[in-house]
Amino acid sequence: QKEVEQNSGPLSVPEGAIASLNCTYSDRVSQSFFWYRQYSGKSPELIMSIYSNGDKEDGRFTAQLNKASQYVSLLIRDSQPSDSATYLCAVNIGTVNSGYSTLTFGKGTMLLVSP
Amino acid sequence: DGGITQSPKYLFRKEGQNVTLSCEQNLNHDAMYWYRQDPGQGLRLIYYSQIVNDFQKGDIAEGYSVSREKKESFPLTVTSAQKNPTAFYLCASSQTGVSQPQHFGDGTRLSIL
Protein backbone atom coordinates (compact mmCIF):
# COMPACT_ATOMS: atom_id res chain seq x y z
CA GLN A 1 0.00 0.00 0.00
CA LYS A 2 1.50 3.29 -1.08
CA GLU A 3 1.21 5.82 1.72
CA VAL A 4 1.48 9.49 2.47
CA GLU A 5 2.07 10.38 6.12
CA GLN A 6 1.47 13.67 7.88
CA ASN A 7 1.43 14.66 11.53
CA SER A 8 -2.23 15.33 12.34
CA GLY A 9 -1.43 18.24 14.67
CA PRO A 10 -2.73 20.63 15.62
CA LEU A 11 0.33 22.73 14.93
CA SER A 12 -0.06 25.96 16.87
CA VAL A 13 1.97 29.04 15.93
CA PRO A 14 1.64 32.72 16.85
CA GLU A 15 0.75 35.28 14.24
CA GLY A 16 3.81 36.35 12.26
CA ALA A 17 5.76 33.14 12.89
CA ILE A 18 6.87 30.53 10.34
CA ALA A 19 4.73 27.41 10.18
CA SER A 20 6.45 24.23 8.97
CA LEU A 21 4.34 21.35 7.72
CA ASN A 22 5.88 18.01 6.84
CA CYS A 23 4.97 15.01 4.72
CA THR A 24 6.65 11.70 3.93
CA TYR A 25 5.70 9.29 1.17
CA SER A 26 6.46 5.66 0.45
CA ASP A 27 6.45 5.40 -3.36
CA ARG A 28 9.97 6.05 -4.66
CA VAL A 29 8.79 6.68 -8.24
CA SER A 30 6.41 9.52 -7.35
CA GLN A 31 7.01 12.53 -9.55
CA SER A 32 4.51 15.19 -8.55
CA PHE A 33 3.73 16.66 -5.15
CA PHE A 34 0.95 19.02 -4.15
CA TRP A 35 -0.18 20.95 -1.10
CA TYR A 36 -3.85 21.72 -0.59
CA ARG A 37 -5.46 23.92 2.02
CA GLN A 38 -8.85 22.90 3.40
CA TYR A 39 -10.89 25.16 5.61
CA SER A 40 -13.36 23.48 7.95
CA GLY A 41 -16.42 22.31 6.04
CA LYS A 42 -14.99 23.36 2.68
CA SER A 43 -13.30 21.57 -0.22
CA PRO A 44 -9.51 21.42 -0.72
CA GLU A 45 -7.85 24.28 -2.57
CA LEU A 46 -4.53 23.85 -4.39
CA ILE A 47 -1.84 26.15 -3.03
CA MET A 48 1.47 24.69 -4.23
CA SER A 49 2.88 22.10 -6.59
CA ILE A 50 6.50 20.90 -6.78
CA TYR A 51 8.15 18.43 -9.12
CA SER A 52 11.94 18.62 -8.62
CA ASN A 53 14.30 18.60 -5.65
CA GLY A 54 14.83 21.89 -3.88
CA ASP A 55 12.67 24.84 -2.94
CA LYS A 56 9.80 26.52 -4.75
CA GLU A 57 8.50 29.84 -3.47
CA ASP A 58 5.14 31.49 -4.11
CA GLY A 59 4.43 34.53 -1.98
CA ARG A 60 4.47 33.52 1.69
CA PHE A 61 4.54 29.82 0.79
CA THR A 62 7.65 27.71 0.13
CA ALA A 63 7.48 24.05 -0.83
CA GLN A 64 10.57 21.91 -0.31
CA LEU A 65 11.18 18.51 -1.88
CA ASN A 66 13.84 15.90 -1.10
CA LYS A 67 13.23 12.80 -3.23
CA ALA A 68 16.16 10.87 -1.72
CA SER A 69 14.57 11.18 1.72
CA GLN A 70 11.03 10.90 0.31
CA TYR A 71 10.10 14.07 2.12
CA VAL A 72 8.15 17.16 1.14
CA SER A 73 7.41 20.17 3.31
CA LEU A 74 5.49 23.43 3.23
CA LEU A 75 6.69 26.58 4.97
CA ILE A 76 4.30 29.45 5.59
CA ARG A 77 6.06 32.70 6.46
CA ASP A 78 4.41 35.52 8.40
CA SER A 79 1.55 33.22 9.40
CA GLN A 80 -1.87 34.86 9.68
CA PRO A 81 -5.00 33.73 11.55
CA SER A 82 -6.59 33.27 8.11
CA ASP A 83 -4.02 30.53 7.45
CA SER A 84 -5.70 28.39 10.12
CA ALA A 85 -6.86 25.34 8.19
CA THR A 86 -5.97 21.73 7.50
CA TYR A 87 -3.14 21.27 4.99
CA LEU A 88 -3.23 18.15 2.84
CA CYS A 89 -0.16 16.70 1.17
CA ALA A 90 -0.87 14.81 -2.08
CA VAL A 91 1.52 12.64 -4.06
CA ASN A 92 0.97 11.20 -7.52
CA ILE A 93 0.94 7.45 -7.86
CA GLY A 94 1.47 6.58 -11.49
CA THR A 95 0.62 3.36 -13.21
CA VAL A 96 3.26 3.18 -15.90
CA ASN A 97 1.60 0.77 -18.32
CA SER A 98 -1.86 2.29 -18.40
CA GLY A 99 -0.72 5.89 -18.25
CA TYR A 100 -3.16 6.52 -15.45
CA SER A 101 -2.04 8.63 -12.55
CA THR A 102 -3.91 9.25 -9.33
CA LEU A 103 -3.14 11.22 -6.20
CA THR A 104 -2.75 9.72 -2.76
CA PHE A 105 -3.58 12.17 0.02
CA GLY A 106 -2.26 12.34 3.54
CA LYS A 107 -4.76 12.81 6.36
CA GLY A 108 -3.71 16.41 6.76
CA THR A 109 -2.13 18.62 9.41
CA MET A 110 -4.32 21.12 11.21
CA LEU A 111 -2.64 24.52 11.58
CA LEU A 112 -3.84 27.02 14.18
CA VAL A 113 -2.46 30.56 14.02
CA SER A 114 -3.21 32.60 17.12
CA PRO A 115 -3.48 36.42 16.99
CA ASP B 1 -16.31 31.32 -14.93
CA GLY B 2 -14.70 27.90 -15.35
CA GLY B 3 -15.19 25.48 -12.52
CA ILE B 4 -16.58 22.28 -11.10
CA THR B 5 -20.18 22.22 -9.92
CA GLN B 6 -21.42 19.62 -7.48
CA SER B 7 -25.04 19.22 -6.53
CA PRO B 8 -26.80 19.03 -4.25
CA LYS B 9 -24.81 20.54 -1.38
CA TYR B 10 -26.65 18.38 1.16
CA LEU B 11 -28.36 15.05 0.57
CA PHE B 12 -30.22 12.67 2.80
CA ARG B 13 -30.60 8.99 2.05
CA LYS B 14 -33.19 6.61 3.40
CA GLU B 15 -32.43 2.97 4.09
CA GLY B 16 -32.41 0.87 0.93
CA GLN B 17 -32.33 3.89 -1.35
CA ASN B 18 -29.88 4.69 -4.14
CA VAL B 19 -28.90 8.33 -4.49
CA THR B 20 -26.98 10.09 -7.26
CA LEU B 21 -24.52 12.95 -6.77
CA SER B 22 -23.94 15.24 -9.69
CA CYS B 23 -20.59 16.60 -10.87
CA GLU B 24 -20.20 18.87 -13.90
CA GLN B 25 -17.07 20.70 -15.07
CA ASN B 26 -16.49 23.29 -17.79
CA LEU B 27 -12.69 23.33 -17.54
CA ASN B 28 -12.30 21.03 -20.56
CA HIS B 29 -10.49 18.54 -18.34
CA ASP B 30 -10.24 14.95 -19.52
CA ALA B 31 -9.87 13.34 -16.10
CA MET B 32 -12.45 13.33 -13.32
CA TYR B 33 -12.40 11.79 -9.85
CA TRP B 34 -14.65 11.03 -6.90
CA TYR B 35 -13.36 11.05 -3.32
CA ARG B 36 -14.91 10.36 0.03
CA GLN B 37 -13.78 12.24 3.16
CA ASP B 38 -14.73 11.15 6.67
CA PRO B 39 -14.21 13.42 9.71
CA GLY B 40 -10.53 13.76 10.57
CA GLN B 41 -9.56 11.63 7.59
CA GLY B 42 -7.86 12.24 4.31
CA LEU B 43 -9.44 11.81 0.92
CA ARG B 44 -10.06 8.28 -0.30
CA LEU B 45 -10.49 7.62 -4.01
CA ILE B 46 -13.75 5.98 -5.06
CA TYR B 47 -13.64 6.05 -8.89
CA TYR B 48 -11.80 7.92 -11.59
CA SER B 49 -12.11 8.40 -15.31
CA GLN B 50 -9.57 9.62 -17.85
CA ILE B 51 -11.76 9.50 -20.96
CA VAL B 52 -15.42 9.28 -21.89
CA ASN B 53 -16.99 5.83 -21.50
CA ASP B 54 -14.08 4.56 -19.42
CA PHE B 55 -13.56 4.57 -15.65
CA GLN B 56 -11.49 2.76 -13.06
CA LYS B 57 -12.16 1.65 -9.50
CA GLY B 58 -10.29 3.43 -6.76
CA ASP B 59 -9.50 2.19 -3.27
CA ILE B 60 -13.08 2.09 -1.95
CA ALA B 61 -15.37 1.44 -4.94
CA GLU B 62 -17.65 -1.12 -3.27
CA GLY B 63 -21.21 0.17 -2.94
CA TYR B 64 -20.70 2.93 -5.52
CA SER B 65 -21.18 3.22 -9.27
CA VAL B 66 -20.34 5.87 -11.86
CA SER B 67 -20.84 6.68 -15.52
CA ARG B 68 -18.96 8.92 -17.95
CA GLU B 69 -21.17 9.50 -20.96
CA LYS B 70 -19.99 13.08 -21.51
CA LYS B 71 -16.63 14.72 -20.95
CA GLU B 72 -18.21 17.35 -18.70
CA SER B 73 -20.16 15.02 -16.42
CA PHE B 74 -19.22 12.28 -13.95
CA PRO B 75 -22.17 11.37 -11.69
CA LEU B 76 -21.71 9.11 -8.67
CA THR B 77 -24.44 6.77 -7.43
CA VAL B 78 -24.31 5.66 -3.82
CA THR B 79 -26.16 2.36 -3.79
CA SER B 80 -27.99 0.65 -0.94
CA ALA B 81 -25.04 -1.77 -0.77
CA GLN B 82 -22.93 1.03 0.75
CA LYS B 83 -23.74 0.48 4.41
CA ASN B 84 -21.96 3.52 5.79
CA PRO B 85 -22.55 6.30 3.24
CA THR B 86 -22.45 9.28 5.63
CA ALA B 87 -19.49 11.37 4.45
CA PHE B 88 -18.37 14.44 2.52
CA TYR B 89 -18.12 13.57 -1.19
CA LEU B 90 -15.72 15.53 -3.38
CA CYS B 91 -15.49 15.58 -7.15
CA ALA B 92 -12.27 16.71 -8.82
CA SER B 93 -10.98 17.13 -12.34
CA SER B 94 -7.61 17.58 -14.02
CA GLN B 95 -5.81 17.44 -17.32
CA THR B 96 -4.28 14.00 -17.89
CA GLY B 97 -0.62 13.43 -17.00
CA VAL B 98 1.36 12.85 -13.82
CA SER B 99 2.21 16.52 -13.37
CA GLN B 100 -1.35 17.81 -13.45
CA PRO B 101 -2.97 18.99 -10.21
CA GLN B 102 -6.56 18.21 -9.41
CA HIS B 103 -9.14 20.90 -8.77
CA PHE B 104 -12.15 20.30 -6.56
CA GLY B 105 -15.81 21.14 -6.52
CA ASP B 106 -17.49 22.40 -3.34
CA GLY B 107 -18.59 18.92 -2.27
CA THR B 108 -21.81 17.15 -1.30
CA ARG B 109 -22.51 16.19 2.28
CA LEU B 110 -24.50 12.95 2.45
CA SER B 111 -26.29 11.78 5.58
CA ILE B 112 -28.52 8.85 6.52
CA LEU B 113 -32.11 9.59 7.52
Q: Tens of pLDDT along B44-61?
A: 999 999 999 999 999 999
pLDDT the model gives residue B113: 82
8 A C-beta contact, residue B104 and residue A43: yes
**Residue B19 in this model has a pLDDT that exceeds 90:** yes
Quick one: which of A10, A4, A69, A9 has its CA closest to A35?
A4
**Residue B39 in this model has a pLDDT that exceeds 90:** no
The partner residues of B63 in beta bridges, in order of sequence, read: none
Condensed to tens digits (0 to 9), the pLDDT of residues B76-100 reads 999 988 889 999 999 999 998 778 8
> What is the rounded end-to-end Cα distance, in angstroms, of chain A?
40
The secondary structure of residue B59, as a DSSP letter, is: T
For chain B, how long is the longest CA-to-CA vector? 41
Q: Closest approach of chain A CAs to the CA of B104, in angstroms?
A: 7
Q: Closest approach of chain B CAs to the CA of A106, in angstroms?
A: 6
**Residue A95 in this model has a pLDDT that exceeds 80:** no
8 A C-beta contact, residue B58 and residue B77: no
Q: Closest approach of chain B CAs to the CA of A22, in angstroms?
A: 15
pLDDT the model gives residue A38: 97
Dihedral sign from CA coordinates of A51, A102, B94, A21:
negative
pLDDT the model gives residue A94: 62
8 A C-beta contact, residue B33 and residue A102: yes
Could you tell me how many CB contacts below 8 A there are between chain A and chain B? Answer: 56
The answer to whether the Cβ–Cβ distance between B42 and A8 falls below 8 Å is no
B interface with A, Cβ–Cβ below 8 Å:
33, 35, 40-43, 45, 48, 50, 56, 58, 90, 96-107
Residue of B nearest to A94 (CA): B98
The secondary structure of residue A81, as a DSSP letter, is: G
Nearest to A105 among B42, B97, B101 (CB): B42
Task: Tell me the mean pLDDT in the region B17-23.
Answer: 96
The answer to whether the Cβ–Cβ distance between B42 and A31 falls below 8 Å is no
**Residue A30 in this model has a pLDDT that exceeds 90:** no
